[in-house]
Amino acid sequence: MGAINGKDFIDRLNQMDTEIWYDGNRIEGKISEHPAFKGLLQTKASLYDLQYDLGIKEEMTYLSPETEEPIGLSYLQPKTKEDLQKRRKMMEHWARHTGGMLGRSPDYMNTAVMSFASSAVLLTGRENCFPENIQRLYERARKNDLAFTHTFITPQVNRSQFYFEYSNEPISAKVIDKNEKGIIIKGARLLATQGGLTDEILVYTVPGVFDADEAFAFSIPTDTNGLKFICRESFVGGNSSFNHPLSSRYEEMDSIVVFDHVLVPWDQVFFYNNVEAANDFMYRSSFHPFAKHQVVTRQVVKTEFILGLAELLVQTINVSEYQHIQEKLSEIIIGLETMKALLEKSENDAELDEWGYMRPSILPLQVASNMFPRIYPRFSEIIQLIGASGMVTLPTEDDFHSNIRADLDLYLQGANRSAPDRVKIFRLAWDLTMSSFGTRQTQYERYFFGDPIRLSSTLYKSYPKDKHVGVICEFLNLKSNA
Amino acid sequence: MGAINGKDFIDRLNQMDTEIWYDGNRIEGKISEHPAFKGLLQTKASLYDLQYDLGIKEEMTYLSPETEEPIGLSYLQPKTKEDLQKRRKMMEHWARHTGGMLGRSPDYMNTAVMSFASSAVLLTGRENCFPENIQRLYERARKNDLAFTHTFITPQVNRSQFYFEYSNEPISAKVIDKNEKGIIIKGARLLATQGGLTDEILVYTVPGVFDADEAFAFSIPTDTNGLKFICRESFVGGNSSFNHPLSSRYEEMDSIVVFDHVLVPWDQVFFYNNVEAANDFMYRSSFHPFAKHQVVTRQVVKTEFILGLAELLVQTINVSEYQHIQEKLSEIIIGLETMKALLEKSENDAELDEWGYMRPSILPLQVASNMFPRIYPRFSEIIQLIGASGMVTLPTEDDFHSNIRADLDLYLQGANRSAPDRVKIFRLAWDLTMSSFGTRQTQYERYFFGDPIRLSSTLYKSYPKDKHVGVICEFLNLKSNA
Amino acid sequence: MGAINGKDFIDRLNQMDTEIWYDGNRIEGKISEHPAFKGLLQTKASLYDLQYDLGIKEEMTYLSPETEEPIGLSYLQPKTKEDLQKRRKMMEHWARHTGGMLGRSPDYMNTAVMSFASSAVLLTGRENCFPENIQRLYERARKNDLAFTHTFITPQVNRSQFYFEYSNEPISAKVIDKNEKGIIIKGARLLATQGGLTDEILVYTVPGVFDADEAFAFSIPTDTNGLKFICRESFVGGNSSFNHPLSSRYEEMDSIVVFDHVLVPWDQVFFYNNVEAANDFMYRSSFHPFAKHQVVTRQVVKTEFILGLAELLVQTINVSEYQHIQEKLSEIIIGLETMKALLEKSENDAELDEWGYMRPSILPLQVASNMFPRIYPRFSEIIQLIGASGMVTLPTEDDFHSNIRADLDLYLQGANRSAPDRVKIFRLAWDLTMSSFGTRQTQYERYFFGDPIRLSSTLYKSYPKDKHVGVICEFLNLKSNA
Amino acid sequence: MGAINGKDFIDRLNQMDTEIWYDGNRIEGKISEHPAFKGLLQTKASLYDLQYDLGIKEEMTYLSPETEEPIGLSYLQPKTKEDLQKRRKMMEHWARHTGGMLGRSPDYMNTAVMSFASSAVLLTGRENCFPENIQRLYERARKNDLAFTHTFITPQVNRSQFYFEYSNEPISAKVIDKNEKGIIIKGARLLATQGGLTDEILVYTVPGVFDADEAFAFSIPTDTNGLKFICRESFVGGNSSFNHPLSSRYEEMDSIVVFDHVLVPWDQVFFYNNVEAANDFMYRSSFHPFAKHQVVTRQVVKTEFILGLAELLVQTINVSEYQHIQEKLSEIIIGLETMKALLEKSENDAELDEWGYMRPSILPLQVASNMFPRIYPRFSEIIQLIGASGMVTLPTEDDFHSNIRADLDLYLQGANRSAPDRVKIFRLAWDLTMSSFGTRQTQYERYFFGDPIRLSSTLYKSYPKDKHVGVICEFLNLKSNA
C-alpha cells in the first residue's frame, strides 16, 4: 500500500470505533464531521494529499526497495547526510503547508517510530524486552502509512519532588496484571495531542521512572477496548477562516488518556517491567536526535511565519520607522537565524550511530530546544505589542456582509490595505497570539520537550565542559583535575 | 433619585434604543438578555446593588447635602485626605467584588466626570468653551447615577509619526458642521469599552491634537441618533461559571464607535474648535490624578486576586518547595506591595488644588502606571508557568456530570483537592491568562493609559530632575546650570 | 563624652595597635596616613564633624537625658513615629554627604547595636545568654560614640547544601575553649568591611547555624590579642579627586577576619553555645527592621545620586531626545520613587514592639531589599550605556596641566560643558560603575542582605498569603483550608 | 621578509619616535619597557612568535607565491571555503593564546587591510579615489608583516541627531588643505585601541558621513609628524600575573588621536573628498564580512574561556547542584553554541564575490554581532553571581609569601583546591569581570561594532523579509504587494 492520501486517512479513521468523550458526551458518528475535529482532519488529509502532489511527490516519498510503492519519507531510515537533508526538505513541505502550527503533523510520530526501530537492537536479549515487536510495528506503519500520537506525561496530582503515588487504585498508568494474551494497563496519562484522532497510540515512559510497573512501552490501535480519550474544550473559534484563520484549520485537540484495564497483546509490547531498559532506551536510542530534528525544522518554519506576519502588521499600520519596532523585528530575525544555524549544524555534525544510521548531532538541537521555549512566547508578545489596541476591536466576516460594510471600509482601512485585508491580517495576529488556540500554541512550544528548567539542567550536565576547564587550569598553571 | 440599584440600571438600559451591531446584525430586544452582554450586565447590576448592601452601604454612598438622598461615593469631590481614603475604600469594594477585572466598573467613569467638573473652571472665559455644561452634566450624573463609557483613540489607519489624515471623508471623528442646535460629528473612534452598554458616552480628545476640528469634548446619550457601536467578537466562553468563571461574568465588550452625522446639542458640548483648551484641559485638570487613583486601586485588588490564585495553584499541585516557584511568587508579592506603597504615597502626598479639591499626588501614580503594564503580563506568564501542562487538558462541567466522572475524580485530583476543585482552580487560571478573555485583559492593562513607550517618555520629561543634577554639580564643583 | 567629632575619631583609631595585614605586610604607623585608608578615614571624620555642624547639629544628635551631652541620633531608641523620622533625617544627612557610597557609615552599626539592646530582653533567663552585656555595650557605645563593624559570613570553602565542615582545625570561627576569663575563639570569618578601621567589631552568627560552637555573639575591641585583619587589594585609584572622585574618598576596604585563639572576656559575650537563642535573636529582635530602615534610606540617597549623574551625562552629550534614553532614565526614576514609597510605608506602618520600641514595618523594607539588588546593577549598566564609548578614553588631571591641554579643551568639550567639566562628569560615571571601586559597590549592593535567591524565598515564605487564597476559594466556592 | 617574530616587532616599534602622551607626560625611551605597555607588547610579541612555533607554523603562515617566504595567514585573500577555514584556524590559535582578550590581535587589522585590497576595484575610476594606493599598502603590509590599528569614531561632543559641528576649528578630523605633497588633516578621533603601539594607523570614515571634508581614508606611520596619541589611565593592575592575570598581559590601552596639521602623502591616500565613495566602500567592500568573521572567531574563543572559568568557579566552591547555577551555566553554553553555529553557517554559506574572493555570508555574522553585545555583559554578570562574596576578599601574591600564609592556606581553601589555587581562580574571575580592565572589556564588546540599537536597526532594514511576508499574503489570499 505505502503512502496514503487524504481520503484514505479520513476513511480509515471514520471506520474506527474509538471512545472519545467531549463535553460530557461520547462522540457518535463520523469523527471527520464533528465540529471540533473537522478542520484539523481536513488539514491532515491535505498533508497526506501532498504525498501525491505532482510538484513535490518525489520530495515527499521514496520508493520501497521491496514493493516499489511510494513510502512517506518520514519513514526513511537515514544513512547519509543527504538522507537527513531529504528528510528535512519533506518536513519543511508539511510545516510550510500549516505554518508550523501542527505539533503532530504525521512526520513527528513517523519519525519517532522510525527512530525506535532504528535503535531496537538496544533491547536485544534484555529481560522483558521485545525489540522484534518494535521492528514489526515500524514495518506495518511504513507499509500502511499509519497515523500515530503518543502519550507520556503522568497526571499532575502532586509535583513535589518527594511525592510517591500511594493511591489504592493506580493513578499513573501501570501494568496491573498480565496473562497469556498480554499485559493489562490501568491508570491514566495526562495528555495526548490528537488523542483519538490517529490510527494508533504509542505509550511509553520518560526516563526517570522508578516504579517497575510504569516501565513499559507499546503501541495499540486507538479503538482498543478500555481505552478512553477525554477531550478538553475545543478551541475551534468557528468555521470561518476569515474570523479564525488558524483555529478553524489547525486546532489539534488534547485529551486525557484513560486505560481502563486495557489489554496490550504480547506482540505489541516493546518492553515492560524493566526500569533500566526504559531509562536506557530513551537516553541512548536515536529518538531525541531524530525527533528534535523534526521539531526544530517545524519551529524554523513557524518562526518564518511569525516574521512574515510581524512585518506585514508593521507595514499595514506603517510603523517601520520606529526604533523600538525595528528592535522587536530584529529580535525575531535573530531567533530565526539562530534556529536555522543550529539546525544546519546538527546536520553538518551528524554521525553514523552504532547501528549505521545517520544521527543528527544532538547538541545544537538541545540548544535550540532550550532556546525556543523562551523566544516563542516573546515572539507572541512582540506581535501583540505591534498590533497594540488594533488587536482588540476586530469585526467579523459577517460584519463585512452587512449594512455597516461602508463604515468598516472607511474606518478600518490600513496604510496600504483595504479594511477587509487589514482585518484579516489583524485577526490572524490575534488568532496566533491571543485566542485560546494561540495561547495553547504558546504553552505547547514552552513545554514541548518538558520543563524548561529541567531542560537547562540537562544541557548543563551533559555538555562537555572539561576541555574548557582545562584551558583555564593551564592558563593559571593549576592541575586540571583537582 | 441618587444612587441606583441593579434593577434600576438594567431597566434604564433596556429602555434605550441604542444602535449596536454584533456579528453582522443589529441587536434587537432587551440588551440585558443578549448572550454577549448578559453576564456583564448582571455583574454591573450586582455592583449597583452593593450601594444598598446593608453591610457596606455607608462606605459606598454619601448623603446629598441638598436632598439627603444617598449618592454613589465615586461622585464625591474630595476635599480632605479622609475623603480620598473614603473614595479608595468604596473603589476597593467594587474591585473586590469583581477581582479587579472590570476596567469600566462605574467608579472609573464617575470619577472622570467628577474630575472634569472639579476642573471646569479652567475653561472659563475661553473661546468655544462651556464649563457650565460640564457642571450640569456632573449634577445630572450624580443625581441619576448615570453609567458612562468614554472614547478617545483614533482609528489605527496609519501610525507613522509623519502621517496626517488627508481622506475625503473624515476618518477620525471631527466636527464637520454646526448649526443653531449644536455641532455635527462625523467619523469614528477606534474603541469604547462597554460601548453601547451605558447611559451616556463621554467623547473627548487626548492631548497632542493638532486639528481644530478634532479638538472637542462632550457627552451624549448612547442612543443618540447616528451613533453606532460595532462590537468585536464576544469573548464570553459560555454560561457556565464552572467552565468560564471570568468571561461568563466580566467580559466587557469593546466596540468601534461610528458618528454618522451625530448632532451634539449645544448644552452638551464642553468645548470645540479650541486646540489649546483641549490640550490644556487634559494636562491641567484633575482627570489624571483622580482617574489613576481609581485605576491603581483596582489594579492592587487585581494583583491580590492573582497572588491568591498563584498560591492556590502552587498548593494544589504541591510545588511550593521549588526555589524557582518561590521566586516567581515573590515577584508577584513585590509587585503587589510596590503598587500598594505607591498608592498610599499618592494619598499621603495629596494636596489641595487651586479649586479646593484634594488631588492625589500624581507622581507615585504615574510610576505605578508605568510599572503595571510591565508586571501584569509577567504575572499572567507566571500563572501559566506554574500551571504548566496542567493548563491544557481541562474537562468541562458537563464532563463531571457524565459517565466518566469517576475517571475524572481519580485522575484529576490535586494534592489536597478533589478533582472538581482542582479543575475549577485551573480553569480560573486558564480563563485569567489564556482564554480570549484573559489575553484581552492582558492587552488592556498593557495599554490602559496608552503606549508604554510614551508613558515612560512622559515620566522622564515631567519628573523634577534638577535637584538631583544639582547635587552632582556640587559634588564635582561644577556650575549647576551649564 | 557623647557624640565625637572627626578628630576624636582619628586620634582614637591611631592609638590602637590593631593587627592589619596589607599586601604581605603588617601595617605600621598611623593608620590614618596609610594610602589605602587615608581617604576613607578623612571621610568618616567629616561625617563625625557633621555632628557639630551648626546648621544640622540638632538633626544629628539628641541630648542625653542623664548627662545632657549631645548623643549621636543613630543611638536613639525610637518610641514614636516622629523618632523614626528623626532617625531617617539624620541618616539622610550622612548618606547625602557621601552619595550613599558608604555601606558602613557610622549609623549602620550604631543602629545595629541599638537594635540589639532594644531586644536584649529576648535573651533573659536563657542558657549561656547575657543580655546585660548587650545593654552595657550599648551604653558604652552611646557614651563614647564608638565606631563598629561586624562580621558574620563564614569562609566560602564549600557552598554545597550538603557540606559540613570536618576539618581538624576550625575554619569557620568557633568557640574552642572557655575558662574563667572568657571564651576562646579560633577560625575565620570571610569578610568585614572596614575591618580594623573601627573601635570594635561585633561578631555574631546568622540564623541557620547548626553547630553549637558557632552559635555565639560578642563585641571586642579591634586590637584584641589574636585578632587579625587581612585586607584585599585597595581600590583607591589615587589621591586625585579629579581622577578618582569616589575611590579617593569612599573606598572602605574589606578584610578577612582571623581569630587566632582570641579570648573574649565574659562581660563582652552576649551568648554562646545556644543554637536556639542564636537563631531566635536574629529573627525576633528588631535588628532587621532597624538595619533595613537605615540601609534603604541610604540606598534611596544613592539612587538620587545616580539619577542626578545619569541626567547630567545625558545633558553633557545632549542625548535627551532619544526614546531609549528616556526609557532608561525613567527606569531609574521608577526605581527611586518605588524605594521612597516603600521606605515611607515602613514608617507609616510602624508599630510598637513588645518592649515599647517603634519598629518600622518589615514587609515594605523586605520588598525594597529584594528589589535593590536587582535594580542597582541595572542602574550601573544604564550609566555605562549612556556614556558609551565616552567612558573609555578619559584623560587625567595631569593631562590638563600639560602641553596638550589645548587639544583636550577642543576635542573633549561637551554639548554645554568645558572639556575639564565633561571629563570630570565622565570620570565620576566611570568610577561609579566601571572602576574596581565601582564594581565592588555593585557586588556589595547585590549581596548586602545575602543571597538574592534566599531573600526571595524568605519573602515568599514569610508573606501572609492566606487572605488572598481565601478570596479565590470564596470566589470558586471552595473550602479555604483544603 | 614576510612573517615577523616577536623580537622583530618589538625592535621596530622601539625605533619609532611616536608622540604618545600618558598622564601629562610625553613618553620617552623604549615603549616596550613602559609599565603601561610592557605586558601588552610582550603578549603581542608572543603572538608573532607563534608564526615560527614549529608545532603550528604551517597553520599560521602560507608561502608567498613570489618569494616563497612565509606570510602571516591573516593576509591571505581567500578564494575557497578551505581558505576561509584556514584563516579561522589561524585566528583561533591567536585567540586561544590570549583567551580572546585582545580586540587588536594582529589578525584583526591584517584582515581589514586584506579586505580593503580585495575590494579596491570598487574605487577604480572614481573622483579623488586611488585604489592603487590600497593595493600598494596591502603588499607592503604583507611583505613586512606590519602592525596596524585604526580609528573612526568622531569626538563625542554632542550626540543629538540634529547636531552639526559648527566650530571655528575642526573638532572631528577633516581635510583642511591639500598641496602637491598630499592632504592636510586637522582635528581628532575619539579612540584608537593600541593607538601608538603599531607600525601604522588606518584612518577612515564610517558610512553616514555628510561632510566631504570628512570623507577620506588613508594609512600613515604612527610616528608621522603632527600625529599625537593621548592615552587614558592604564588599567594594568601591576606586574604580578598572580594578582592581575589578565591586565598584566592584555591591557591594550585606548587613546585619543589628534591630527595637528598632519600631512598625508598622496601615495598613502585611498580616497578623499568623495562622500559617495566613502559610504559605498564601507557598505560594498568585503570589510564587514571578513572583519566580522575574525571578530566572531575571537568571541567564540573568549566565550569558551568564560565557560571554562565559570565551571571552574562552580567546582571550586562546589555549587554545581543548584538549579539556578545550572541555569546560569547553560546560558553560557547556549551562547557559545549559538555563536559557533552562526560562525560555521557564515562559512558554509560563503560565496565568491564579484572580484573572486570567498566572502563569508554576512547575515549569520550580523546576527552574531547583534547578539554578543547582549550576552557578553550577561556572562560577566553570571561570573559575578557565581563568585558572590568570594569575589571581594582576595589576598595578593605577597600575602602568600608572608607570615599569614598559614592562615590563608587554612581559611581560603576551596572544595578541592588549595588556597593559592582558589585565590588564583577567583582573581581571574575578578580581573575578567570586576577590575577596570574587565569592565573595559565589557564595554568594548558591547560597542565593538557600534551602537547596539543601530546594529539592530540595520539588521532589520537589510534582512530579506519579502519572502516571509509573501507566505502570509498567500495564506490570507491577499495581494503580496499592497
Chains that touch C (3 or more CB pairs under 8 A): A, B, D
Q: Pick from A317, B98, B358, D393: which is nearest to C255 by CA?
A: D393
Long-range pairs for C467-473: beta carbons < 8 A, 24 or more residues apart: C467/B308, C468/B304, C468/B305, C468/B307, C468/B308, C468/B311, C469/B308, C469/B311, C469/B312, C469/B315, C470/B308, C471/B96, C471/B304, C471/B305, C471/B308, C472/B305, C472/B308, C472/B309, C472/B312, C472/B425, C472/B428, C473/B312
- Cell 581553601 belongs to residue: D413
Q: How far is residue B126 CA from its own chain's centroid?
A: 30
pLDDT score for A481: 57
In chain B, the residue whose alpha carbon lies closest to the alpha carbon of A164 is B415
Q: Which three cell numbers stand for residue C52?
A: 557639630
**How far apart (Å, rounded) are the C-alpha atoms in residues B190 and A392?**
9
Nearest-angstrom CA–CA distance, D118 and D122: 9
Q: Which residues pair with C358 in a beta bridge?
A: C352
Which residue, chain included where needed, has cell 491535505?
A46
pLDDT at C415: 92
Chains that touch A (3 or more CB pairs under 8 A): B, C, D
Nearest to B21 by CA among B232, B230, B310, B288: B230
Please tell me the pTM assigned to this model: 0.97
The pLDDT assigned to D365 comes to: 98
Give pLDDT, residue C158: 87
The three-point CA angle C87-C91-C93 to 5° equals 120
Q: Which of B85, B112, B107 is nearest to B96 (CA)?
A: B107
Note whether D447 contacts C: Cβ–Cβ < 8 A. yes
- Those residues with Cβ within 8 angstroms of residue D341's Cβ, 6 or more apart along the chain or in another chain: A338, A341, A342, A344, A345, A364, A367
Of B215, B223, B221, B183, whose CA–CA distance to B201 is shortest? B221
| Partner C, chain B 182-201, Cβ-Cβ below 8 Å | none
Find the distance separating the first CA and the last CA of chain D, reported in whole Å.
Answer: 62
- Distance of residue D323 Cα from the nearest chain B Cα, in angstroms: 8
* Ranges B64-73, B319-328, C133-142, D13-22: which has the least confidence: B64-73
Q: Does residue B158 belong to the interface with chain D, where contact is any CB pair within 8 Å?
A: no
Cell numbers 551631652 correspond to: C69
Instruction: Residue C304: list chain B partners with CB under 8 A.
Output: 468, 471
Q: What is the mean pLDDT of residues B313-325?
A: 96
Distance from CA of A460 to the nearest CA of C (A): 17
pLDDT for position D434 = 98
Instruction: List CB contacts (< 8 A) between C324 and chain A.
Output: 323-324
Any idea what the Cα angle at residue C405 is, between residues C403 and C408, rounded to 5°? Answer: 135
- The x, y and z cell numbers of residue D350, run together, are 560563503
- For C302-348, give the DSSP string: HHHHHHHHHHHHHHHTT-TT-HHHHHHHHHHHHHHHHHHHHHHHHHH
Distance between CA atoms of residues C253 and D392, nearest Å? 10
pLDDT at residue number D480: 62
> Each residue of A149-163: pLDDT tens digit?
999 999 988 888 888
The answer to whether residues C386 and C306 touch, using CB atoms and an 8 Å cutoff, is no
Quick one: CA torsion of D186, D191, D193, D196, rounded to 10 degrees?
30
**Chain D residues within an 8 Å CB radius of B324:** 323-324
Query: A344 vs D345: CB contact, 8 Å cut-off?
Result: yes
Over 80: is that where the pLDDT of A479 sits?
no
Q: Any idea what DSSP says for residue A196? A: T
pLDDT score, position C480: 62
Report phi then psi at B358, rounded to 5: -85, 105
Q: Residue B479: its pLDDT value, please? A: 77
- Residues C34 and C24: their CA atoms lie apart, in Å, by 15
Give tens-digit pLDDT for C407-457: 999 999 999 999 999 999 999 999 999 999 999 999 999 999 889 999 999
Query: Checking DSSP bridges between strand D174-178 and strand A358-359, what pairing results, if any?
Result: unpaired
Q: What is the tens place of the pLDDT at every residue in A225-244? A: 999 999 999 999 999 999 99
Residues within 8 A of D (CB atoms), C 335-374 only:
none
Cβ neighbours of residue A124 under 8 Å, at least 6 residues apart? A131
- Of the residues C98, C240, C292, C312, the best mutation for testing chain B's interface (the one with the most B CB atoms within 10 Å of its CB) is C312
pLDDT tens column, B57-102: 999 999 998 889 999 999 999 999 999 999 999 999 999 999 999 9
Positions of chain D with pLDDT lower than 70, given as ranges: 480-482
Residue C116, C-alpha cell as written in the block: 540589639
Nearest CA in chain D to A314: D469
Distance from CA of B411 to the nearest CA of A (A): 6
Helix (H) or strand (E) run with residue C291 in it: helix C287-316
Residue A259's closest chain B neighbor by CA? B407
What's the distance, CA B226 to chain centroid?
26
Is B381 an interface residue toward C (CB < 8 Å)?
no
Mean pLDDT of A284-306: 98
Best B157, B381, B423, B425 member to test A by mutation, with max A CBs in 10 Å, is B157
Whether A94 and A101 have beta carbons less than 8 Å apart is answered as no
Q: How far apart are CA C467 and CA C469, in angstroms?
A: 5
Q: How far does C94 lie from chain B, in Å, by closest CA?
A: 14
AA letter at A90: M
Give the per-residue pLDDT at A162: 80
Give the pLDDT of residue C455.
95
Which among A391, A439, A446 is the top mutation candidate for probing chain B, defined by the most B β-carbons within 10 Å of its own β-carbon? A439
- For residues A463-481, one letter each, b for 16 or more C-beta atoms within 10 angstroms of the residue's C-beta and e for the rest, the string is bebeebbebbbebbebeee
pLDDT band at B480 (very low <50, low <70, confident <90, very high): low
pLDDT above 90 coverage of chain A, percent: 93
Residues of chain B by 3-state class (helix, strand, coil), percent to 5: 50, 15, 35
Per the CB < 8 A criterion, the answer to whether C248 and D425 are in contact is no
> Distance between CA atoms of C2 and C135, rounded to whole angstroms?
17
Is residue D24 packed enough to be buried (19+ CB in 10 Å), middle (13-18) or exposed (0-12)? Answer: middle
What pLDDT is attached to residue A1? 81
Q: Are C390 and D254 in contact (CB under 8 A)?
A: no
pLDDT of residue A480: 62
pLDDT of residue D479: 77
Pairwise CB contact (< 8 Å): C312 & B469:
yes
Portion 289-328 of C in contact with A at CB < 8 A: 323-324
| Residue among B159, B394, B414 whose CB faces A319 most closely | B159
Regarding beta strands B200-204 and B182-193, do their DSSP bridges make them parallel or antiparallel, or are they unpaired? Answer: unpaired
Q: What is the largest CA-CA distance in chain D?
A: 83
Task: Give the Cα separation of C287 and C270 in Å (integer).
Answer: 15
Which run of H or of E encompasses C84? Answer: helix C81-97
pLDDT surpassing 70 at residue C481: no
Q: Chain A contacts of B151, Cβ < 8 Å? A: none
pLDDT of residue B300: 98
pLDDT tens-place string over residues A239-263: 999 999 999 999 999 999 999 999 9
- Res A316 pLDDT > 70: yes
Q: Check B24 against A402: CB less than 8 A apart.
A: yes
> Nearest CB to A460: which of D330, D364, D473?
D330
Q: What is the pLDDT of residue D481?
A: 57
Domains of chain C: 6-281 (2.40.110.10), 286-450 (1.20.140.10)
Cell 557598505 -> residue: D283
Stronger pLDDT, B158 or C285, i.e. the higher one:
C285
Q: What is the pLDDT of residue A346?
A: 98
CB-nearest to D156 from C157, C188, C389 is C389
